[in-house]
């Protein structure tokens, strides 16, 4: 990605097929270039004379000076715009021909076509947002549920950045005291930094960074959808359950065991949280090669899932749970396990093997065919997602941020060990500086052009 902020750039900023399409223009010549191809409806109301945050109605001309469309031109002046530059947004009719011709006309008038993410990259370069906020813009555009939307909005508003700023301020104060001692190294008895207080501070910072890093497990699944594997023996009602949850005939339902031989996936949003349900092949002993391949995929999906819905027939619950436990339970360690007892209308109080299920296993009684008990299951799933009740608790959703936090955590733990071992101040200072470096890397204060290019190349062109 080129980084020439002297260029004035343009791009279509809306998806194709809508009634209205927006063409975005940003750069030092944005207002003057648009003014060459925009004829205001009111005489004497040139675009260059318009105040910031104003909208003008007029005619957009093509390269031959002919009327292309009647449009609205919204004017934003630096530094009070999305990019921090002079900007104009043209609201046109959503015709593909109109939008492409408008774009070509602007290029002929002096604009350059924007590259992916270039508007947001300019906003970052001009100090309108830090890098973590810029990355949240892409997450906001891609959000497909209320939960992923809330996480992106909190990050874009600077919730994550504020947490990092607090940590960096504490670390800078920390290292300043250590380095002040180094300036007076000829006075061996002089100590500005109370080592016990520094140890307490380092422990608190360790705990905070560790909490942010651990939140990535929740944040990642909320951002991409929580994978839920529906497993159990053949002909127990797994496909019927999936169809009942989705309220559509998504999986084939048959009285013949082994009907599902491959995984069937679909997405459902419950209370603002997106769940990716995976109907799997029934687990049983079989000589059928294709069915065995499906069962192997079932175990693979259990490994990938965050939540496992283990279906058992309530009329045969004890036998079925005991039979599959050796294969299923080892793969469910560290996951939320829900034992779903289907056909509970036939056996409302089934007996389960004592002490076999791990502590924390949830048990839900349903009848997938009758539709009873599904509300209890729908209520339980969002609770298992682990979303904080308020957005004051920051959740990390970006793998780049997670990697930087793990490096920062390693550094602060070396600081704690160094304090405990009584190592010299210069070595302590080096580890503190490394921790600060990785925290700064998240917000873009030390990020290289290669990293920036990689991040913004994944944005859509108009953003």
pLDDT value of residue 223: 83
What's the rounded mean pLDDT across residues 61-74?
94
pLDDT value of residue 258: 46
pLDDT value of residue 38: 95
pLDDT value of residue 122: 94
CB count, 10 Å around CB of 250? 16
* Structure-block tokens of residue 49: 């004379």
Residue 61 has pLDDT above 70, yes or no: yes
Report pLDDT digits (tens) over 408-459.
999 999 999 988 888 877 788 889 889 999 999 998 876 667 667 767 777 7
Query: In the chain, what are the domains?
Result: 9-129 (3.30.1360.120), 141-221+398-444 (1.20.120.430), 230-384 (3.40.50.300)
CA distance 211 to 214: 5
CA distance 193 to 425: 10
CA distance 82 to 122: 9
CA distance 146 to 164: 25
- Please return the burial class of 434, using the count of CB atoms within 10 Å of its CB with bins 0-12, 13-18 and 19+: middle
Strands 67-76 and 273-279, by their bridges, are unpaired
Under DSSP, is residue 306 helix (H, G, I), strand (E, B) or coil? coil
Closest CA to 353 of 328, 389, 317: 317
CA distance 319 to 332: 19
CB-based contacts of 256, cutoff 8 Å, min separation 6? 235
**Residue 316 belongs to what H/E stretch?**
none
């Amino acid at each position: 990605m080129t980084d020439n902020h002297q260029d004035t750039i343009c791009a279509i900023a809306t998806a194709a097929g809508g009634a209205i399409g927006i063409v975005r223009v940003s750069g030092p010549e944005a207002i003057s270039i648009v003014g060459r191809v925009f004829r205001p409806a009111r005489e004497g109301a040139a675009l260059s004379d318009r105040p910031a945050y104003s909208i003008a109605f007029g005619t957009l001309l093509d390269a031959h000076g002919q009327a292309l469309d009647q449009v609205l031109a919204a004017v934003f002046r630096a530094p009070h715009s999305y990019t921090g530059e002079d900007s104009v947004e043209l609201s046109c009719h959503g015709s593909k021909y109109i939008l492409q011709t408008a774009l070509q006309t602007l290029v002929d008038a002096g604009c350059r076509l924007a590259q992916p993410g270039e508007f947001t990259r300019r906003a970052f370069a001009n100090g309108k947002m830090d890098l973590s906020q810029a990355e949240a813009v892409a997450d906001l555009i891609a959000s497909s549920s209320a939960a992923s939307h809330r996480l992106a909005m909190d990050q874009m508003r600077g919730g994550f950045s504020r947490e990092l700023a607090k940590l960096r301020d504490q670390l800078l104060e920390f290292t300043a005291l250590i380095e002040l001692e180094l300036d007076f190294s000829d006075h061996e008895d002089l100590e500005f930094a109370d080592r016990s207080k520094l140890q307490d501070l380092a422990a608190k910072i360790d705990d905070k960074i560790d909490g942010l890093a651990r939140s990535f497990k929740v944040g990642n699944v909320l951002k991409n959808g929580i994978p839920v594997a529906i497993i159990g023996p053949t002909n127990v009602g797994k496909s019927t359950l999936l169809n009942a949850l989705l309220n559509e005939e998504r999986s084939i339902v048959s009285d013949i065991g082994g009907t599902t031989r491959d995984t069937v996936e679909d997405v459902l949003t419950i209370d603002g949280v997106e769940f990716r349900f995976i109907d799997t092949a029934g687990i049983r002993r079989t000589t059928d090669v294709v069915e065995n391949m499906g069962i192997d995929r079932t175990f693979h999906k259990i490994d990938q899932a965050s939540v496992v819905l283990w279906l058992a027939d309530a009329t045969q619950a004890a036998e079925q749970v005991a039979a599959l436990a050796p294969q299923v339970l080892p793969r469910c360690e560290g996951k939320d396990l829900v034992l779903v007892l289907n056909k509970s209308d036939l056996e409302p109080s089934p007996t389960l093997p004592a002490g076999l299920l791990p502590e924390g296993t949830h048990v839900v009684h349903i009848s997938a065919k009758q539709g009873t008990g599904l509300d209890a299951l729908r209520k339980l799933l969002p609770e298992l997602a682990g979303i904080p009740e308020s957005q004051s608790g920051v959740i990390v959703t970006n793998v780049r941020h997670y990697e930087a936090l793990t490096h920062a955590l390693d550094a602060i733990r070396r600081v704690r060990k160094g304090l405990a071992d009584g190592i010299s101040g210069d070595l302590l200072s080096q580890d503190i500086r490394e921790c600060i470096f990785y925290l700064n890397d998240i917000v873009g204060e030390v990020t290289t052009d290669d990293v920036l290019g990689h991040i913004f190349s994944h944005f859509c062109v108009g953003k």
